[in-house]
Structure 1
Amino acid sequence: MSTTGTPAPAAPPPLVPDSARPAVSRARYGLLTSLFIITAINYLDRTNLSVALPHIKDDLHLTATQQGILLSSFGWAYLLLQIPTGRLIDKVGAKLAFGYALVGWSLATAAVVLSRGFGSLVGIRVALGAFEAPAFPSNNRLVVNWFPGNERGRATATYTSGEYIGLAVAAPVLSLLTVHFGWRSVFLVTGAVGLLFSVVWFRRVYDRPEQSPKVSVEELAHIQQPDEQESAAAVEKASEAELSTMGADLRVLFTNKRLWGMYIGQFASASVLFFFLTWFPSYLVEEKGMGIIKAGFWASAPYLAALVGTLVGGAWSDRMLDNGRSRTVARKLPVMIGFVLASIIVCANFTDSAPLVITFMSIAFFAQGLMQNSWALFADSVPRRLTGTGGGVFNFMANAGGVLTPLVIGFIVDATGSFAWALGYIGIVVAVGLVAYALLIDRVERIEA
């Protein structure tokens, strides 16, 4: 341990001799496939509750406020542990932090079958949130390590799309499981999926490309090329830098105006996301009168729309960079258009037509997919040596929205008897996100620290 009060530098990663590397490789896409799958599992385990909730509500006789507390409880520990786990990732690497987290949250998911009441369910969801805390800071760290700057938008969009494709495919399946085998079966099945994939994760994932024997010399040079905003010396310095004190690093992350614009925008984006991840199936069942199986199948459309939005946003952003547009325009524009489009969610208040409701919801969730380009924007802005800690702060701000949104909606539904003002709340929040991006993020460039 360092005697100066700063962490001791990590041991250098083991290097693979050039002679042992293949002539040509695209191993970074294998890493990206693993990120896609683990993100899909991550979101499946945090949102399976929303699919089963209409049955849980009836079984346990829960009020809307209690449902809001239950849906929010995942975020309590998840939120508080973002910065500590980001720091942990900077010290031990994303592979170990994410891998052990996967085992932990899969066991917590399966443990729901042992619950017998509201209190035990809340406790298990808090544990689930604690184990899932390293997820997105780890994703951010691995994308920065494995992809050059002009590919990070597409890489971020690809792994982020795992949030939606898993739900789009699984929502009907989980609805059928709930109806035919009981709501506890949903958690047993999804927990088992995570445990099975943990074997693949530990065997095939590496923190850095130079550690992997599957990465060719040519691909390694491509990955490590500096982009126009970073010199090669700066990249090398960042990769070797020792972490400073926690207080000094947090001052960097909390005193920058541009980062605050990103934090506020991420809070707004997460508020939209968590409406769909928590209350959306109940909204279809209770507000629009759909049966749970029908709601499960209808819910797939917005999830698929969000998947398309995520992929479009990332590819469009990188294409703008390739075509010579400024990094500021390329990274900000998809997110800001997403804020504008997401406000259409309020229109669902004015119709009971199922196809029209799903159309409005699909546009809003497509828009939230565009907003996911914010991770690429942040990756291009945060100091390189703080990608883990910075990712923790960024995800902390996002999941403040994830904690607040289910609670606010539960209170609104109990107070008013409908979801109308809940959708109005979402509309207000996305307007605040748009203003923050417009006024606080003047340009996108690497912050030096």
Structure 2
Amino acid sequence: MTTAVQTAVRPTRFRVLIAVMLFITVVINYLDRSNLSIAMPAIAGELDLSKAEQGILLSAFGWTYAALQLPGGWLVDKIPPRLLYPACLILWSLATFFMGIIGGFVALIALRLMVGVFEAPAYPINSKIATVWFPERERATAIGFYTSGQFIGLALLTPVLSWLQTVLSWHWVFIATGLVGILWAVLWYAKYREPRDSRANEAEVELIRSGGGLVDLPRERPERARVTRADLATVLGSRKLWGIYFGQFCLTSTLWFFLTWFPTYLVEYREMDYIKSGFLASLPFIAALVGVLVSGVLSDFLVRRGASLGVARKGPIIAGLLLSTVMVTAGFTDSTTMVIVILSIAFFGNGLASITWSLVSALAPRRLLGLTGGMFNFIGNLSSIATPIVIGLIVTDDSFAPGFAYMTVITVAGILSYVFLVGKVERVAERTQEDRGVV
């Protein structure tokens, strides 16, 4: 009898399924960001694009993705993830699909802009789901796990997409990834539920709630229908939040190098064929995957051992950024093997630092998780515009070293931001009711 009672009240682990669903969504999300970089050498050859034109096309996603982070964050605060996520998935997957159907430089730019529009709410949704579904002591592990999806997908599927391009054509890179996204959108809508509406038992819901998970947030109704001046003042007026905003810009600059110029670097500057370059391009992503998994587990381990959130969350981020600075040495060797080793170390560091969304969960005002996440992602993903354009302008036909030097300077700036701006990790307070005014 006692055993039966204990079994009945044992918490379920439905949140594990939620983590897996987020993981799969992130895999698809990042394949649709990176598929252009895989196809770019073939597209550039077919359309006779200059380096500057390639940089513009590679940056097109970032223009709309960054610009719509705030509206996207606002939508996340208003529309349940069960509805918003599959809607976004279908729309960005359709835009991706049609990139493989419609040719031409202008058409590709227009469709890439659309992918950026509909992917804009994705990571604020992820952050909100993690805050709702996971207690604080598990959250960095969950964030690290689903964030690793971007690297697992790229590591394992970059060679597959490169092979598909070689066997068929670059068009099929977009057709295949678009169809996968549409299918997953249907499955997401069928399976995702909020904690109190899911198959998680009351013991699991209470475990999440008592551990700092905001399980009742989906049922809370916002006080106002519109963003107020005080809301914007809160997310723009905090030194701590600016520390993570700018730090995210610096961190994601390295990521966007790998998502845009890296395959072109291997094909054009290292003279590799598509299949070999696809394989070698996957190695830094594998290193980044290891970094992500180590980071989440290490951070939560430190929390459980009594370390402050500042040490547990910022420590892996700063250490990872320090490792990423080795990228500058890639411009001083002619050995392809050494370049891959150097860039794998740098991208391991990027993965180690990639639990930055745990700081959004820890610092953001609870009512403004979506808006704060949107601002964080907006400023962070300005790098998706800057990185491809700046590298396209500063590299020469003979040397990619200026590109590596630029990435290193940006990384050092990120370290300084986390050290001097973020400070103690604690939730930022909202402005008072008297300070609020509708905008």
Q: Give the TM interval when normalised to the shorter protein.
A: over 0.9
8 Å CA contact 2:137–2:211 kept in 1: the answer is no
Determine helix, strand or coil for the equivalent of 1:87.
helix
Contact kept? 1:69, 1:406, Cα under 8 Å? yes
CA displacement 1:274-294 (0-9 Å, x = unmatched):
000010001111122222211
Q: Give 2:223's aligned residue.
A: 242
Which SS does the other structure have where 2:394 is aligned? helix
Of the three residues 186, 197, 200, the one matched with 1:211 is 197
Q: Please tell me whether the aligned partners of residues 147 and 155 of structure 1 are also in contact (alpha carbons under 8 angstroms).
A: yes
Aligned CA RMSD, in angstroms, stands at 1.9
After superposition, the C-alpha distances for 1:137-159 in whole angstroms (9 at most, x for unaligned) are 00000000101111110011011
Equivalent residue, structure 1, for 2:437: none
**In the alignment, which residue of structure 1 is the partner of 2:336?**
354
State whether structure 2 residue 28 is matched by structure 1 residue 46. no
Cα 1:447–1:235 change in 2 (3 A) is farther
Letter in 2 for 1:351: T
Unaligned runs of 5+ in 1: 1-20
User: Which residue, out of 230, 251, 254, partners 2:233?
Assistant: 251
Pairwise CA distance, 1:242: 2.4
2:95 and 2:71 map into 1 onto residues whose CA distance is 20
Q: Give yes or no for the alignment of 1:146 onto 2:133.
A: yes
Q: Quote the offset at 1:236 in angstroms.
A: 7.4
SS in 2 for 1:300: helix
Aligned-pair CA distance for 1:339: 1.2
> Is the deviation greater in 298-307 or in 88-97?
88-97
CA distance in 2, matches of 1:448, 1:31: 29
In 2: Cα distance, 1:266 partner to 1:172 partner:
28
Aligned length: 422
* AA in 2 matched with 1:187: F
Alignment of 1:73-112 (within 5 A): 73-112=60-99
Q: Which residue of 2 aligns with 1:128?
A: 115
Cα deviation per residue 1:354-379 (whole Å; 9 max; x = unaligned)?
22111101111111111111111121
Aligned ranges 1:291-440 → 2 under 5 Å? 291-414=273-396, 417-440=398-421
The whole-number CA distance in structure 2 between the counterparts of 1:385 and 1:125 is 32
Kept in 1: contact 2:332–2:401 (CA 8 A): no
Partner deviation per Cα, 1:28-58 (whole Å, 9 max, x = no partner): 1101110000110000011101011111110
Alpha-carbon contact 2:243-2:421 (below 8 Å) kept = yes
> Is the alpha carbon distance of 1:72 and 1:236 closer, same or farther for their aligned partners in structure 2, counting shifts above 3 Å?
closer
CA separation of 1:146/1:237 partners in 2, compared to 1, >3 Å: closer, same or farther? closer
Partner of 1:446 in structure 2? 427
Distance change (3 Å), C-alpha of 1:63 and 1:237: closer
Is this contact kept in 1: 2:97–2:179, CA < 8 A?
Answer: yes
Query: Structure 1 residue 22: deviation in Å?
Result: 8.9
Residue 183 of structure 2 corresponds to residue 196 of structure 1? yes
Tell me the CA shift for residue 240 of structure 1: 5.4
Length-normalised TM-score, structure 2: 0.93
In structure 2, C-alpha distance between the alignment counterparts of 1:153 and 1:181, rounded to whole Å: 41
In the alignment, the residues of structure 1 paired with residue 219 and residue 320 of structure 2 have an alpha-carbon distance, to the nearest angstrom, of 32
In structure 2, stretches of 5+ residues that fail to align are 1-7, 431-439
- Corresponding residue number in structure 1 for 2:105: 118
Q: 1:221 aligns with which of 203, 206, 211?
A: 206
> 267-276 vs 438-447, which deviates more?
438-447
Partner of 1:62: 49
Amino acid at match of 1:225: S
Q: Partners of 2:340 and 2:114 in 1: how far apart?
A: 33
SS where residue 224 of structure 1 aligns?
helix
Q: Secondary structure at the match of 2:429?
A: coil
Aligned residue in 2 for 1:184: 171
CA distance in 1, matches of 2:217, 2:116: 35
What is the one-letter code of the residue matched to 1:92? I
Displacement of 1:417 in angstroms is 4.2
Q: Does the CA contact (< 8 Å) of 1:238 and 1:385 recur in 2?
A: no
Cα distance, 1:115 vs. partner? 2.1
Residue 248 of structure 1 deviates from its aligned partner by 1.6
C-alpha displacement of 1:113: 2.1
Q: State the SS of the aligned residue for 1:138.
A: helix
SS at 2:246's partner residue? Answer: helix
Question: Where in structure 2 are the equivalents of 1:152-191 lying within 5 Å?
Answer: 152-191=139-178
TM-score of the superposed pair, with normalisation by structure 1: 0.91
Q: Give me the whole-angstrom Cα distance separating, in 2, the residues matched to 1:267 and 1:294.
A: 31
Any conservation in 1 of the 2:80–2:218 contact (CA below 8 Å)? Answer: no
Between the aligned partners of 1:27 and 1:161, the Cα distance in structure 2 is 20
Is the CA contact (8 Å cut-off) linking 1:346 and 1:424 kept in structure 2?
yes
Secondary structure of 2:251's match?
helix
1:120-167 deviation digits (Å, cap 9, x = unpaired): 110010011101111100000000010111111001101111111111
**Identity over aligned pairs, percent:** 44
Give the CA deviation at 1:398: 1.0
In 2: Cα distance, 1:336 partner to 1:342 partner? 10
Amino acid at match of 2:360: F
CA deviation string 1:63-90 (max 9, x = no partner): 0000000000001111111000110110
Q: For the Cα contact (< 8 Å) 1:23–1:217, is it kept in 2?
A: no
Q: Give the match for residue 436 of structure 2.
A: none
1:288 and 1:352 in contact (8 A); partners too: no
Looking at structure 2, the residues matched to 312 and 300 of structure 1 have their Cα atoms a distance apart, in angstroms, of 19
- Establish whether residue 279 from structure 1 lines up as the match of residue 261 from structure 2: yes
C-alpha deviations, 1:257-281, integer Å up to 9, x for none?
A: 0111101100000100000001000
Q: Deviations over 1:197-255 (max 9, x none)?
A: 1111000012x20111x10111000111144xx9x9x9879955525633221110000
The match for 1:15 is: none
